[in-house]
Structure 1
Amino acid sequence: MAQKAPVDAMTTRHILFLVFMHGLGAMILDGAINFGLAVAMYKTTSQPIHLWSFPNTLAGDATVTVIIQQTLTWILDQLSVRSDVKKGVVAPLRMSKNANVVLRWFVGVDSPKFGQKKTVKEFLIFHGQRVLVLILATWVVYWPIAMGILAGLKNNGIGVDTRGVGGDFNNWPLPEIFKGVYGFALGATTPFVSYVQLIYLGETANPDSESELPARVADGENDEAKLTDH
């Protein structure tokens, strides 16, 4: 399929794209990956698994999961959306005139060098700030809820150690299920990242543009092209 021109409003295709491909699909994938990691981390451990105490702490695990998963989501999902737009799976979007300041900031339309080549430092600062805000916003919502649920389970003796290790949640497969469900729930934030990228591509009106690449990288590719011409 040919690449589509930017459109001003979301269509049914956009909704299906965000809800199923980059919503439910991302949630299932994230949940499966986190469940697998939890099996490797907790199933055969000889150390107790606690809610708060180190070294195996589900509270700490939940925080680290947010940091890693949201960082990877910001990077990989934007690359995925860029590829889908290039293939014509979905059209990029124009920024709504009534868009709120949060969305405008995430897309970066008001930044001085929007749509232009960035230095390595500018590139890292731009994306680093947005990843940090995404992580903090996600953690504030998800982490307290997860800890409340786990505390309730602990107080009711659900998941208590049955192997003589002495932990709060050494009972297979409770910690594995927790991490899997937690990762699945975090995946619900992926459509927002996809939406941001769709608007970025629509506002720059050129999904193939390398303007988001650091200037040094882009310049290096230009030099290589010149050598090839000769």
Structure 2
Amino acid sequence: MTWATNPLFTPGEPDEKKDATDVEARLQHDSGNTTDLTTSKSDEWAFKTPTDHLTRRQAVYLFVLDGIVSGLIGAGINFGIAYATYHTQDAVRLFVLPNALAADTGFTLLAQFIITWWAECFVVGWHLRTGVVPSIGFFREPKSRFMRWYFYLDDKQPQELRGFKPWFSLFFGNAIRSLILLAIFFPVVFGATIGFLTLVGTRRGAEWYYDVVFAPQIFKLVFGIVVGSICTPPMAAFFLVRCGWIMKAREGAGGMQSVEEISSTEA
């Protein structure tokens, strides 16, 4: 995982000793091939220049590839879980445990946010490194301590994750950030969901009841689509924006070039 997409790494001085070691190792590995021997592995990735506006490619990536596709995947998983959970139950209610759709909604939001954020960390990182999508470069880098902490802009960490501690920090740190984003979405999504469920349920006293066979499965199917489509794009944008800030910082310090800059230099 390279500097631009590893959330634990921020811009720093190039490691000249490591670069020299890499070049020497490549010379020993293939003494007959002298093409681009001074280019480190991180420079071989096809990073694109950060954009100064939201491009069509970025919009399609965020709202179609990330939003809709994530929604469909979430819908399938939620539907399968709902079918396995509810089809053998005697009753499905809104608030009273067990088999309460309100509790299921809260747990699903928690699990889907954390899992989706982790997935986006690696998927978007790979797409940035391979040039599938350029990073976003039209936002100003934040100055507040909280925002710089949230976007991993001040933590000095190694470029590679080796050992248990860096990987634990990676997963724990991203989980915390996904929960912060969840805190923003939760009141709106949870409130709207409960309101909708009161409209489609059968009220008996202070509780609402639902058909065991169809209602929870269809609900979780639709819920997965909505949550995935709405909440995944901001997660993907987090890594696109952060990568843009770090690429600009590294380029300004004479660090890693984008694929466009490398191509123009070779030409």
TM over 0.5: yes
Distance 2:99 2:218 in 1: 16
Q: Deviations over 1:86-117 (max 9, x none)?
A: 221111222512869787664233x4548978
Match of residue 234 from structure 2: 192
Where structure 1 has 5 or more consecutive residues not aligned to the other structure, the ranges are 158-166, 207-230
Query: Do structure 1's residue 182 and structure 2's residue 226 form an aligned pair?
Result: no
Query: Do structure 1's residue 18 and structure 2's residue 96 form an aligned pair?
Result: no
Match of residue 4 from structure 2: none
After superposition, the Cα gap between the structure-2 partners of 1:115 and 1:186, relative to the gap in structure 1 and judged at 3 Å, is farther
Task: For 1:62-211, list aligned pairs within 5 A.
Answer: 62-94=105-137, 96-97=139-140, 106-109=150-153, 111-113=154-156, 120=166, 123=170, 126-155=173-202, 168-187=209-228, 188-205=230-247
After superposition, the Cα gap between the structure-2 partners of 1:28 and 1:100, relative to the gap in structure 1 and judged at 3 Å, is farther
Shift of 1:42: 1.1
Distance 1:124 1:23 in 2: 22
Q: TM-score, normalised by structure 1?
A: 0.73
Identity across the alignment (%):
26
Shift of 1:34: 0.8
Shift of 1:47: 3.4
Q: Deviations over 1:64-93 (max 9, x none)?
A: 000000001110012111111122111122
Q: Deviations over 1:156-198 (max 9, x none)?
A: 68xxxxxxxxx92234211111111111111111011101101
After superposition, the Cα gap between the structure-2 partners of 1:67 and 1:198, relative to the gap in structure 1 and judged at 3 Å, is same
Task: After the TM superposition, list the runs of 4 or more consecutive aligned residues in structure 1 that deviate by more than 6 angstroms.
Answer: 98-103, 114-118
Shift of 1:6: 2.6
Give the count of matched residue pairs: 196
Q: TM-score, normalised by structure 2?
A: 0.64
Distance 1:122 1:33 in 2: 27
After superposition, the Cα gap between the structure-2 partners of 1:20 and 1:60, relative to the gap in structure 1 and judged at 3 Å, is same
Rg (Cα) greater in structure: 2
Q: Is the 8 A contact 1:5 1:91 kept in 2?
A: yes
Distance 2:225 2:242 in 1: 26
After superposition, the Cα gap between the structure-2 partners of 1:13 and 1:114, relative to the gap in structure 1 and judged at 3 Å, is farther
